[in-house]
Each structure stands twice: as structure tokens, then as C-alpha cells.
Amino acid sequence: GVEMPRPTRRRVMSVANQKGGVGKTTTTVNLAVALALHGNRVIVIDLDPQGNASTGLNVPHHAGVPDIYSVLIENVPLIEVAQAVDGIPNLRCVPATIDLAGAEIELVSVVAREQRLTRAIAAYPEEFDYVLIDCPPSLGLLTVNALVAAEEVLIPIQCEYYALEGLNQLLNNINLVKAHLNPHLDVSTILLTMYDRRTRLADAVEQDVRNHFGDKVLRSVIPRNVRVSEAPSYGQSVMTYDPASRGATSYYEAAQEIALRGVKND
Ligand code: ADP
Ligand code: MG
């Protein structure tokens, strides 16, 4: 509804951070569900061979299931591998199977290897509002494909001591992609995750990140919340598993902020 207005044109967002365990997958899944539950048509693309986003959305991704690997390497149309997500009518998920583990190497010798995902998304025959791409914890060709396909990067930052370490490497890569492959790319959104309000450290990290990135940082901060970490084992997002939890309400608020900011450059 009006609380999460649909964008005037499709937004492709890559959720990236080469650090593992910072909340990329959790953020992708919960923002996608929040947006879809409020009238947006959303596609999640699982670009991590571990397939955690597929697991979190309860989408089959065992060996042999047509997945994003088939799209990137075998030219299978995205729509043929996009699966419905139980209970969330506006949401599709393109799963990742273990096959994807080989793609990083196989892509090297493929024609237009950095543009495979861009082309697949462009050929998608249905309209949608958001594509959220869950990146692997590396800066290889899979992440490059995500950065070339997107106009926006969403960087989740975990509120811990080493939070900003390694971020320069990610930002350098984003600038390289912007300079050579995708001039439309921009870091549009920073989301602070796993915030523990009892520690002074979390507060210091938050101040650091806000000083550094200004209004790219969402006002909503995701707290460390056990319901968030329990939800995937029930094949659910926290949005449906426990909508009243602080995890769910904060992801709802983050999704709303993202929606209200609208399409970049509009
Ligand atoms: P990444 O995709 O960056 O590797 P994940 O989203 O998989 O990170 O999160 C890493 C771990 O932290 C997972 O076990 C996840 O359930 C847990 N987690 C993520 N966000 C929260 C949160 N807000 N509160 C509690 N646990 C969380
Ligand atoms: Mg992940």
C-alpha cells in the first residue's frame, strides 16, 4: 500500500559485502518479504553457492534443480528457474545449488562473462519492482556480475569491532565496475545489522559509519534478535515467523525507508 509505495521503475539492488556473516542473506530475504507483502513484485536472486537465501525462502535447491548456474553458464532464461515462494504471492526466488560453486571458474572463459546476469535480467518477460541479489562473500566474477546488473548496492555492516575493515576493498571494486562496466552503479544504501544496544562498541561503530557514509545509512538499525536467526530453520523469514519481533519490525522499517527513497536519480 501507500506505506511501501512501488517504484516508478524497476530497482535492481545487489546486497554485497565480501565479509561473511554480516547479514547479507538475512537482509536480502527479509527486505524481499517485507516489500512483497506490501504490494511490491520482488525477485530474489541467490548468487551464493551456499544457497542460504534459497533455504531461507524455503525454495528447493538440491543438486539437479535448475538454478542461477543454469542461467549464467547454460543460457537458461531466468523465468524458467524462478520459483514461487510459499505464502508470498508477489515474491519469486531464483535458487542457487551446489553447481554454482563451479561458476566462478567456468565464467572466466564465457563470452561477456561480466554481463551474464545483466542480460538474463533484461530478458525477463514479466514486470517487477525489485530484484534483490544476494552476493557471495567474495569479490570474484559472481559478485562482479551482480554489480554490473545493479544500479544500487546495499551494504550490510555488522556492528562489531572490525566492521569497516575490508570495506575499502569493496568500495574500490565498486568504483572499478562503475568506471569500466556500469556507470549507473552507486552505493545507495548502508544497513547496520546485528546491533547490540548494550555495548558501547556498537554505538561507536554506528557513529563511525554515519560520519563516513552520511545519509546513505538507513535510520533503521537491525538489532541482534534471536527470532531473526531462528526463522530460517523453519523455512521462513522473520517477517512471517514472528512479525511482532524486534527483528521483523526493524526490517519492516528498513524496507519502508528504502521504498520511500524511491528510485535513485528520479
Ligand atoms: P551473510 O549472508 O553476510 O554471510 P547471514 O545473513 O547469513 O550473513 O547472517 C549470518 C548469521 O547471523 C546467520 O546465522 C544469521 O541467522 C545470523 N543473523 C543475521 N542477522 C541477525 C540478527 N539481526 N540477529 C541475530 N542473528 C542474526
Ligand atoms: Mg549469505
DSSP calls for 206-266: HHHHHHHHGGGB-S--PBP-HHHHHGGGGT--HHHH-TTSHHHHHHHHHHHHHHHH-STT-
**Structure-block grid coordinates of residue 168:** 575499502
Nearest-angstrom CA–CA distance, 262 and 266? 8
Nearest-angstrom CA–CA distance, 78 and 142? 16
Q: Model's pTM, two decimal places?
A: 0.97
Residue 6 pLDDT: 94
Residues with CB under 5 A from ligand 2 (ion): 24-25, 52
Do 93 and 134 form a contact (C-beta atoms < 8 A)?
no
* Ligand 1 pocket residue status of 56, Cβ below 6 Å: no
Look at ligand 1, atom 10, and give the residue with the nearest C-alpha.
21
Residue 263 pLDDT: 61
Q: How many whole angstroms from 122 Cα to the centroid of ligand 1?
A: 30
Phi-psi label, residue 51: left if phi above 0, alpha if psi -120 to 50, beta otherwise = left
Residue 224 Cα: closest atom of ligand 1? 24
Q: How many CA atoms lie within 13 A of 213 on its CB side?
A: 25
* Ligand 1 pocket residue status of 247, Cβ below 6 Å: yes
Residue 2 pLDDT: 62
Look at ligand 1, atom 15, and give the residue with the nearest C-alpha.
229
The candidate with the shortest Cα–Cα distance to 40, out of 85, 91, 84, is 91
Q: How many whole angstroms from 22 Cα to the centroid of ligand 1?
A: 6
To test the pocket of ligand 1, the residue of 14, 22, 26 to mutate (highest count of ligand atoms within 8 Å of its CB) is 26
**Structure-block grid coordinates of residue 64:** 539437479
Residue 165 pLDDT: 84
**Structure-block grid coordinates of residue 29:** 530475504
Question: What is the CATH number assigned to the segment(s) 11-260?
Answer: 3.40.50.300
Helical ranges in 75-185 per DSSP H: 78-81, 103-106, 116-122, 141-149, 167-180
Q: How many whole angstroms from 17 Cα to the centroid of ligand 2?
A: 9
Residue 35 pLDDT: 98
Q: Which residues of the chain have pLDDT under 50?
A: 1, 266
Look at ligand 1, atom 11, and give the residue with the nearest C-alpha.
21
Residue 27 Cα: closest atom of ligand 1? 6
Residue 237 pLDDT: 97
Q: How many whole angstroms from 90 Cα to the centroid of ligand 2?
A: 22
Residue 3 pLDDT: 85
Residue 262 pLDDT: 80
Residue 128 pLDDT: 95
Residue 229 Cα: closest atom of ligand 1? 16
